[in-house]
Structure 1
């Protein structure tokens, strides 16, 4: 094994989260490697496709600290206003950047644009094995004898790439390879899951009227429909539906049928919905790792917590995790020290629990059309619209500003 096969930090997964961590560690003085199975330009690359992602102000600040925000902002659309409504009921809430003294409530960026900024920066910051896959990982011990136990000093990671199979060694393994992570399973970390019985249709739609920086969260009995402002006047939709319906709508319905059904669900705030692009389908299951840290390992991104897409919280939470991990490792002589990783995992529990409760609670509250509950939630929406202090509490959670915000996500 050569010295090039030994790293301080090895990241499983070079998507949005893994790449962000690699770039965030570039000035840490630590050697970093990334293992990514799917080439950036491959059709199957899920992180850098044509989907759009809503970035909270905390994520904008994170990318600003990394020096990547100017490139991202050039291809992103600011969210100036948010309109929240409940189909078939009168309650609604409006949020505006101007009223909150913010330049924007967030930005909507194509994943492709994020990838164009992150991939070159990752390649400059880390040794990237791509395409490559992790076969297995196991502990690395040192010392030990008749009167001394062996010390856990790192992990060995068996990978397969164009060189064949070989082993890398790392003091810290970061698992960021997605919701169905085989690396997380190899660490013996279980998951808790909630299947929402839905799949989300992701598509770009062109409407008769300009969006003017308005994002919509439209709650329907089938699920929350998000309509986000995108570049060139289009909007990006995230439309959860019962899985069987979603599969038919995504793969079999004509464009005319799809647009008519979407129009009925969303309404006419943007005038007639005129055209739809390709439709992608994603099953909706909330997955939570039972542990965010293990022996010489940390779990990040969807491998740690995959959330329902309502409110666009998933990547923003993951980037706050990345920022907190970078801060935890900043002064740590050993990046895989058990006390450091345990402290990091404890520090992230509060943010995760609040965010999960926020997303799951919205789905539960607005997917039930029982008349008394519908009346109560619409009174709540109206109250939020009328009382700025209550509205700002909602905004703090939605923009990632609730609780302790890691330094990399602050101004």
Structure 2
């Protein structure tokens, strides 16, 4: 909803910029916190321009499944997802491979593949029930709000004024904490003066749904090639979802200029025949690939989340899972807070998430550096590594802990509540 009075001042404890998967998840996670929450989202949920709720597929780690379970959303999500029961990792042109199975790791599933649309259908109504939604609306600017300190002449930072544009005019929101979750190209983050570090991979990912001759049987494939790591994920209805990073010029040609037959032939040559003939491909989308990291995750009464904080290479499917662990940790920190924008609280939150971010970034970036090249020396090393993973359970479990989000301190909202109670 949006205010009909352009001059009206709305006061909230937390204002979230962005109502996509990450912003919506935080709003729902805060619904029992006692905090008043508003979400500012520029795109209607049913719009074709809403990137968070489209037909792309996301691999959810077990920590993310537990997160949605603890929010009470998993029953609405589960019918539309496909479990990952096995993962096959291989290096094209070389003999090394490893196979990870849920049974060997003592897990019901190594993860689940969910269409973003299914996640959005569960999150959107829950967000609307948990928060005041301004949509369509966009943030024009934000500035710090100060008050005189009773003990001296110094001004004390007490909140932020957030000016937004709606269909009915401009409205000002006052908040004790601004959460920035409006994507990798966040204008709100830039307005706060937070810079970013960027590693451009010189690639774009072609994303599409494919029908294959043989059933996937819950198997996910990570196929490393000199051009980039090809992910083939099990999807509902017997389809598979592909994430195919390629050099940008090649990716643009594959996404927009080739026929379906040419596309499938190239994909077949890259992936192989493990699923038999690749028979049909749906709509193809293209997404540039770069690792983008905010130089600060928290500043004056503001926190940066999701792709606005850290956008990763899609190898290993780590991006949203890392963001949901951030959401879970922030929701826990804010849940018992008398002042959600307290500087010490935000600093402690940011420091607590550094280790998880650094491990996850090193994991994804390291895989790209190790596998996406033609070096014979590195080829030998990685094939020895893949073989070792297949033969040595402790090494395999170390990889699994990172891949499933279980490395380090997992926030309580991402844990099995029954097991921890």
Q: Is the 8 A contact 2:206 2:286 kept in 1?
A: yes
Partner of 1:406: 411
1:101-140 matched pairs, under 5 angstroms = 101-140=106-145
User: Does the alignment pair 1:289 with 2:294?
Assistant: yes
Summarize the alignment of residues 246-265 of structure 1 with structure 2, pairs less than 5 Å apart: 246-265=251-270
1:183 matched residue in structure 2 = 188
Query: 1:95 Cα deviation (Å)?
Result: 0.3
Once the two structures are TM-superposed, the CA of residue 147 in structure 1 deviates from its matched residue by: 4.0
Any residues of structure 2 matched to 1:325-344 within 5 Å, and which? 325-344=330-349
Distance 2:227 2:236 in 1: 28
Say whether 1:13 aligns with 2:18.
yes
Offset, 1:3: 8.4
Cα deviation, residue 49, structure 1: 0.3
Which SS does the other structure have where 1:194 is aligned? strand
The 1-side partners of 2:385 and 2:310 are apart by: 28
Once residues 404 and 206 of structure 2 are traced to their aligned partners in structure 1, the CA distance between those partners, rounded to angstroms, is 24
Counterpart contact for 2:30–2:335, Cα < 8 Å:
no
The answer to whether structure 1 residue 215 and structure 2 residue 220 are counterparts is: yes
1:245 aligns with 250
Secondary structure in 1 matching 2:80: coil
Match of 2:57 among 52, 55, 72: 52
1:352 maps to what in 2? 357
Post-superposition CA distance 1:233-281 (Å, at most 9, x none): 0000000000000001000100000000000110000000000000000
Inter-partner Cα distance in structure 1 for 2:395 and 2:138: 47
Judge conservation of contact 2:212–2:277 (CA < 8 Å) in 1.
Answer: yes
Correspondence for 1:276: 281
2:198 aligned partner:
193
CA distance in 1, matches of 2:397, 2:404: 10
Partner of 1:230: 235
Alignment partner, residue 304 of structure 2: 299
Which residue matches 1:70? 75
Supply the distance in 1 between the matched residues of 2:173 and 2:300 (Cα, whole angstroms): 17
Per-residue CA shift, 1:73-124, capped at 9, x if unaligned? 1100000000000000000010000111110000000000000000000000
- Find 1:31's aligned residue among 20, 27, 36: 36
- Give the whole-Å Cα distance in 1 for the aligned partners of 2:305 and 2:65: 19
Matched, 1:90 2:95: yes
Distance in 1 of aligned mates of 2:14 and 2:97:
47
Once residues 197 and 28 of structure 2 are traced to their aligned partners in structure 1, the CA distance between those partners, rounded to angstroms, is 30
Partner of 2:54, secondary structure, is: coil
State the TM-score, normalized to the length of structure 2.
Answer: 0.96
Distance 2:54 2:414 in 1: 25
Q: Secondary structure at the match of 1:44?
A: coil
Unaligned runs of at least 5 residues, structure 1: none
Determine the C-alpha separation between the residues in 1 that align with 2:288 and 2:134.
29
1:164-218 C-alpha deviation (Å, 9 max, x unpaired) = 1121000000000000000000100000001100000000000000000000000
For 2:323, the equivalent position in structure 1 comes to: 318
Q: What is the rounded CA distance, in whole Å, between the counterparts of 1:121 and 1:43 in structure 2?
A: 21
TM superposition shift of 1:163: 2.0
TM-fit CA distance, 1:4 = 6.9
Distance (Å, rounded) in 2 between the aligned partners of 1:122 and 1:75: 19
- Looking at structure 1, the residues matched to 198 and 287 of structure 2 have their Cα atoms a distance apart, in angstroms, of 16
2:396 corresponds to which of 391, 394, 403: 391
TM-score normalised to the size of structure 1?
0.99
SS at 2:373 equivalent: coil
Query: Are 1:150 and 2:155 counterparts?
Result: yes
Determine if the alignment matches structure 1 residue 141 to structure 2 residue 143: no
Distance 2:179 2:124 in 1: 18
Provide the rounded CA distance (Å) in 2 between the counterparts of 1:52 and 1:70: 18
What CA deviation, in whole Å up to 9, does each residue of 1:295-348 have, x standing for no partner?
Answer: 000000000000000000000000000000011112211000000000000000
Could you list the runs of 5+ residues in structure 2 that have no partner in the other structure? 417-421
Secondary structure in 2 aligned to 1:93?
Answer: strand
